[in-house]
Every structure is written in structure tokens, then in C-alpha cells.
Amino acid sequence: MTRVRALGIDVPPSLLDKWAGWLAPDQQPFFLTPEQAQAWGFENDDREPSREDRDTFQTYAVDSTATVIAWLSEPQFAALDKPIRAQLVRAQVRHGRNSVPTVRKWQGLLGPELKAQADGHRFVWWKSLLAEHKAEVLLKIVNEEYDASRHTEVTNWPASLPRVKELAGTFPDGSGPNCFGTVMAATGVEGAESVWMQREPFEEWLAAHTVRGGRDNDPGTVFVWRTHEGLVQHAAITIGDGWIFHKPSQVWWGPRKIRTVAEVRRSMRTVGWRLERHKLS
């Protein structure tokens, strides 16, 4: 079997299959205003989306006017009249739903028939589109989102961070695991890499196990980015020799990766955020 790698990380077939299911679930949400729902014959279905649904479609970023959610399968979507499909897909773009790519970007791989799905300019992912090109599609999406992990370049793994070598260059088994849990796991907190770690337990861990200060080239310096109001937004931990370990987001395609300190500092520059350093005590 051909080796599949994304961002310099091996992706086993079982995980690739999960990615396909999260990118193109059997049913996916379409967001509509009440007026659109009435005009196009849809009723609201307020089922709770999975964490993977939330990240794939960025449901948290959808326009607040789109209060009606229609969950459709591929057969249900295909059975709609084409003018309705076209309006439905265009509405997703306007309302800010994610995973509504352009035909222009993908028709070279998926063929000109992609234009027939909706309005000819945008489309939504279904498993049928991935059937022959699963790896190509998923690797392109993931590789465009993040810079590669550089874990294979590290020559000196610090004993003071007992799990960082094990975790570096891996993908999570779903949405949720985030930067806070990743930092905690690197220091030896079992299971922290697999949960959606909230701010409060991370702050408690930070207060109990670190003191302010630390140098960028030493292992065990925890970088913490906060808003001006003090709300923690992101965390990473140095492993020495100018390398740093972090997970850039909680999404299912977000890797646990190694980059240089300079690269991560550059990537995290955000208006209104400030960086502070803590060292393991």
C-alpha cells in the first residue's frame, strides 16, 4: 500500500477513512434564514452537531440570521431541483459556512461534471466525490492549511519532557484535542492530549507547575499568548535547540507538531495578543 503522508506525518488508512467521513459526512448541515427555508421547502432540524461537524463546517462562524438548519444526505441533496441546489449552496457561502469550495480549484482533479452539482461555481463535498481521489483531496486540504511538522529534524529530545517525542508528528483521533492539553501531555500528564482542555484546568496546571520566566532555547519554557484582558488563547512548549512543540488548533486535521520558535512566534502574531513565558518548576 502506498505510504500516505500529510505535513510530514504518516497517516494510517484508518485515519484517512475517518478524515473522509468528517469532510463528507453522510448528512451535513445547510444553514438558511427562515425566509429561505420557507421559500425552498425546508424545516429546521436542531440536532447537536458533532465536534467534527463543528470544525468541518465552522458552524460557530455562521451568520446569526441563518437560524434554520437542514441536515441533508447526498441522495436528498441530489433529489432537489437544480435551481434549489444552486441557491442552497450559494446561501452557504453567504452565511459563512465552511467547506463550500470552488469548482475552479477542484475540477482539474474531479472533472468538469463538478459544475453540474449546484451553480457551477461552488459545490459541497460528498463521499461520491472522494471515491477515487480520497487521498489526493484530503492531503491537499490538510497540506494547504498548516506548515509541515519538523519533528524528523530534532536530534536531541529532552528527558524533562517525557512524552514530547511520542506525540510530535501525530494527528489527533478527532476534533477537540487542543494546544493546552498538548502542552500538558508533553510534560507527562497522561491523557491530556486526547481531551478538549478548557482554559480553567490549563490555568490551574500552569499555576501549579510553572513560574514566570524561561529562555527560548531551553527545554520546558511554556509560551502563553493572552488577550490584553488576560484570556489565554494559545500555548506551546520549547524542547531546546530552538525548537518548540504545539498544536495549532482543536480541529481534526490539526497536527501535534514541531517548528522553530521563530516560526511559531511569527505564525501567532495577532493584534491584541501578548506573549508571556513560564518555565517548568
Q: Are 19 and 138 in contact (CB under 8 A)?
A: yes
Domains of the chain: 25-124 (no CATH), 151-280 (3.90.1720)
The predicted pLDDT at position 3 comes to: 81
pLDDT at 184 (0 to 100): 98
Tell me the pTM. Answer: 0.94
Which residues of the chain fall below pLDDT 70?
Answer: 1
Residue-wise pLDDT for 137-196, tens only, equals 999 999 999 999 999 999 999 999 999 999 999 999 999 999 999 999 999 999 999 999
Dihedral class, residue 33 (left if φ above 0, else alpha if ψ from -120 to 50, else beta): beta
Single-letter amino acid, residue 111? G
pLDDT of residue 1: 53
**DSSP assignment string, the chain:** ----EETTEE--HHHHHHHHHHHS-SEEEEEE-HHHHHHHT-----PPPPHHHHHHHTGGGS-TT--EEEEEEHHHHHHS-HHHHHHHHHHHHHHT-S---BHHHHHHHH-GGGGGSSSSSB----HHHHTTTHHHHHHHHHHHHSPPP-GGG-----TTSTTHHHHTTB--SSS---HHHHHHHHTT-TTGGGS---HHHHHHHHHHHEEE---TTSEEEEEEEEETT--EEEEEEEEETTEEEE---SSTT--BEEEEHHHHHHHT--TTEEEEEEEE-
